[in-house]
Structure 1
Amino acid sequence: MGVIKKFRIKSFKNPQPFISLENISLSFGKRKILDNVSFKINHGQILGMLGPNGVGKSTIFNLITGLIKPDFGKIKFEGIDVVDYPIYLRTTKFRIGYVPQYGGYFSDLTLLENLKAIAEIVIDDKNLIHHKIDMLIAKFELDAIRDIKAKFLSGGQKKKLVIALALLSDPKVLLLDECFAALDVLTIKMLQEIIVNLQTESNITICICDHQARDLLSCVDVAVILSNCKIVAQGSPNELINNTEAKNAYFGDSFKFN
């Protein structure tokens, strides 16, 4: 598969972090999950998280959205510590969108009914609901399946639906959890192009975690590698695949990106 992303934002002249995790530590009982983890996601950047199973990638999303609180450390949105902010305030005040690995839709509703149900909640101007829904259906080429129940959609169609649902609220940040899992090659390429277009067309800040290293690295600007509760490496895709710590912790010696 060719490289999807034609340019990568490695650094900013005036870095403006949208999300900052500062010295985050978390344990579940006696099991340490995250140990003094710090990283930033800049405005308009696509950042990827990679690491072995159980290393804490999805946990970081749960921390960002407010489903769980850290034992120690700060989570900042645009410089404001939100550790004590409830989920609804994080999503409405800072416009955080989340695409879970599983579900995220109403199985017994049609694709159109799903969009209408969420639009009624997140769009204040009811005159804009039909316009926004029609725009997203056209954007993701969903018109042919708009009247099909979500439970009968393919994996790729479900993923496009959930991304469309997340975009109804015009998020500034989109979190994508295992978005390439269990999808065929063509569907993965389609999703990669959707992700890159969201950045270039709408300047949405995006964070992705996934196990599909090549697929993730093809569409991010920078990535972090988690291992043994810590971030062991971070940088651009080309920097990471040549990083000794990243090889030892995740990629191995035989991994090739292009």
Structure 2
Amino acid sequence: MAAVELKGLSKRYGAAVAVDDVSLRVEHGQLVCLLGPSGCGKTTTLRLIAGFIEPSAGEIEVGGKVLSSPSRTVPPEGRKMSMIFQSYALWPHMTVAENVAYGLKIRKLDRATIDAKLKAILSTARLEALADRYPGELSGGQQQRVSLARALVVEPETLLLDEPLSNLDANLREEMRFEIRRLHDQYRYTTVYVTHDQAEAMTTADLIAVMNKGRVEQLGPPEEIYTRPRSEFVARFIGGSNVLAATALDEVRVSVAGGALRTTGRSLSAGRPVAVSVRQHEIGIALEPPSSGAENHLQGTVTRQVFLGSTRDYTVTLADGTELRVTAPPGRNIAPGQSVWLHLPAEQCRALAEE
């Protein structure tokens, strides 16, 4: 069982802290995405797991065995791991079949075993028709599938992926997200996947670890991360939430731009500042004022409108100058300068943890 566990893992370069006391367990057969912006520590964490660099503190265990600590680090070739890089790193002078079979050959398996494993993985990765081609004759998506097949054919205990789709165009990226998930569901290797792309993480992962400044800000299933962000950073990074600066009126209500909003998420203390997140598509926009006694409405003025085909994207400025992004159906056409009422449903107004 190749569960991967990070225990208080840190990596420092002089005074700079790249990874800061990260503890994380990836169960056998899980796919966990390390998600975050550039410089958050996700690739350094992956390189620590791979054994390319040594930790400054903490340990990495795989299958209950310590592979990394400040006193001893097992080299990459002793870890039974496969890693897929951004560049694919295919041998240009080898065919697809030769690239995929390379890891089996250096392990000195017999010809019959190599042929059987090669045939099976080429079929699974839908590469049979490309077996005799060279990397220079393949599209980006095809090269990525070759890279995946080469990593999987050696049956690693752990599969590591470092921004594997970053070199593909938008359409191919979307296609390959589902391909990576399909292959994972078939082989169920323990997988750690690094990306800065929210859609990749949401599509492929069993769990998402959102990283910020070297730490795991929040860990959970994709739906939980999206619908119940715990911090302002996670709310802004995952799905582009509006984050409102408010003041608590009581345990559940806050004051924003002269109006009151009922919130969910945590109990509040009257008079304390609080950040409230609400996603763009969860806000209703109307020209008519709400009925008497209706809760969670704020008045503002449309200052920008963009037609995006399937939606319209609005910027609405409230009385105190706060700007909210609102996504509405394409048929809801409201010109800039018009006064509008926004409905922010209480169940979607999430009071975030104090920073």
Q: Does residue 233 in structure 1 map to residue 218 in structure 2?
A: yes
Per-residue CA deviations over 1:37-79 (Å, capped at 9, x if unaligned) read: 1111001111111111021111111111110010000000012
Match of 1:6?
A: none
| Shift in Å, 1:32 | 1.1
Match of 1:243 among 205, 222, 229: 229
Match of 1:177?
A: 162
How large is the RMSD of aligned CA atoms in angstroms? 2.2
Does the Cα contact within 8 Å between 1:23 and 1:38 map onto a contact in 2? yes
Match of 2:91?
A: 106
Unaligned runs of 5+ in 1: 1-15
TM-score, normalised on structure 2? Answer: 0.62
Match of 2:134?
A: 149
Match of 2:288?
A: none
Match of 2:48?
A: 63
Give the secondary structure class of the aligned counterpart of 2:192: strand
Does the Cα contact within 8 Å between 2:218 and 2:234 map onto a contact in 1? no
Match of 2:78?
A: 89
Does the Cα contact within 8 Å between 1:24 and 1:37 map onto a contact in 2? yes
Does the Cα contact within 8 Å between 1:66 and 1:85 map onto a contact in 2? yes
| Higher strand proportion | 2
Give distance in 2, aligned partners of 1:82 and 1:114: 28
Give the secondary structure class of the aligned counterpart of 1:218: helix
Give the secondary structure class of the aligned counterpart of 1:244: coil
Hey, which bits of structure 1, 4+ residues long, moved more than 4 A?
254-257
Unaligned runs of 5+ in 2: 243-278, 282-355
Higher RCO by CA contacts (8 Å cutoff, separation 6 or greater): 1
Task: Give me the identity figure in percent.
Answer: 26
Distance change (3 Å), C-alpha of 1:49 and 1:140: same
Does the Cα contact within 8 Å between 2:32 and 2:191 map onto a contact in 1? yes
Aligned pair count reads: 238
Match of 2:173 among 188, 192, 203: 188
Match of 2:351?
A: none
Q: Which amino acid aligns with 2:201?
A: L
Larger radius of gyration: 2
Per-residue CA deviations over 1:196-237 (Å, capped at 9, x if unaligned) read: 333332222222111211122112111001101111111111
Give distance in 2, aligned partners of 1:24 and 1:64: 10
Distance change (3 Å), C-alpha of 1:233 and 1:256: farther
Give distance in 2, aligned partners of 1:201 and 1:20: 23
| 1:1-258 alignment, distance < 5 Å | 18-83=3-68, 84-91=73-80, 96-122=81-107, 124-241=109-226, 242-245=228-231, 246-248=233-235, 250-251=237-238, 252-253=240-241
